[in-house]
């Protein structure tokens, strides 16, 4: 059983897992290598554009998705092969290669069904007839094609809705960050001529600067989530169109 998760760092790999799950079962060839997928994943998370993904960037991305547990830390450590505190494109590529191999192994299980999970955008691909309480029978190729197209279309609709929410959140955070940054800039100019206790003024300025930085990080993480969802939606749209165009 494989699933697309929205949990901490690995949620960034949703696009890869969708491609691996659906393409393997339907016999479609992958259009990108794990290294190319890794570069796209890194670009989505790399908020400061230093070509590496830090633990803090992972946490910010996880937080933007509503994940506040310890899973992000654990998954980061699992992927950080050389334990240098950063993920490079090769470490990410290794993880994606393992996901692709797992998808190929599961593809030998035969007829499948895509089962939605409780959270929006989450699904599991399972062998036909393996879900308790769901009566199924061996489907014809045409029936499987139709079922797969319907499942893919449903996932696409869910992802587009999630992407719209992420875009709205990112825009709001970016506005808040810009407002805070404007206030910080004004305070910086007035700092030299201000009155009152110098220590209190310094503490106030530092606090405002930290708030502005935090809001900017949240905005970057929300924008990364939107970008990842849009990429996943485009790939799902391609899969859906391919399924619907089959005779």
d(CA 158, CA 156): 5
159 and 232 both lie in a single domain: yes
pTM of the complete model beyond 0.85: no
Structural domain harbouring 76: 8-14+31-87
Tell whether 240 is covered by a domain.
yes
84 in helix, strand or coil?
coil
Interatomic CA distance for residues 233 and 242, integer angstroms: 14
> How many other CB atoms are there within 10 angstroms of residue 30's CB atom?
15
Last residue of one domain, picked from the residues 51, 66, 87: 87
In a domain, 186, yes or no: yes
Is 114 within the bounds of a domain?
no
Span 150-165, pLDDT tens digits? 676 667 667 777 777 8
Which CATH number fits the domain that encloses residue 74?
Answer: 1.10.238
What pLDDT, on the 0 to 100 scale, is given for residue 197?
Answer: 75
**Model confidence pLDDT, tens digit, residues 180-202:** 888 888 877 777 676 667 788 78
């Amino acid at each position: 059983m494989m699933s697309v998760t929205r949990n901490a760092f690995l949620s960034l790999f949703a696009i890869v897992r969708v491609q691996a799950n659906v393409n393997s079962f339907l016999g479609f060839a992958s259009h990108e290598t794990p290294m190319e997928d890794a570069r796209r994943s890194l670009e989505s998370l790399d908020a400061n554009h230093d070509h590496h993904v830090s633990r803090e960037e992972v946490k910010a991305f996880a937080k933007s998705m509503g994940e506040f547990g310890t899973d992000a830390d654990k998954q980061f450590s699992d992927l950080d092969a050389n334990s240098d505190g950063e993920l490079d494109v090769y470490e990410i590529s290794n993880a994606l290669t393992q996901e692709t191999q797992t998808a190929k192994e599961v593809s030998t299980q035969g007829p499948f069904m895509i089962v939605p999970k409780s959270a929006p955008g989450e699904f599991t691909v399972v062998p036909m007839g393996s879900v308790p309480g769901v009566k199924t029978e061996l489907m014809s190729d045409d029936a499987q094609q139709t079922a797969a197209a319907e499942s893919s279309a449903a996932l696409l609709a869910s992802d587009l809705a999630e992407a719209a929410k992420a875009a709205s959140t990112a825009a709001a955070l970016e506005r808040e960050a810009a407002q805070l940054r404007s206030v910080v800039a004004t305070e910086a100019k007035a700092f030299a001529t201000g009155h009152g206790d110098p220590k209190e003024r310094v503490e106030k300025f530092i606090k405002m600067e930290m708030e502005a930085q935090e809001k900017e990080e949240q905005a970057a993480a929300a924008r990364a989530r939107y970008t990842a969802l849009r990429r996943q939606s485009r790939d799902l749209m391609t899969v859906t169109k391919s399924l619907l165009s089959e005779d």
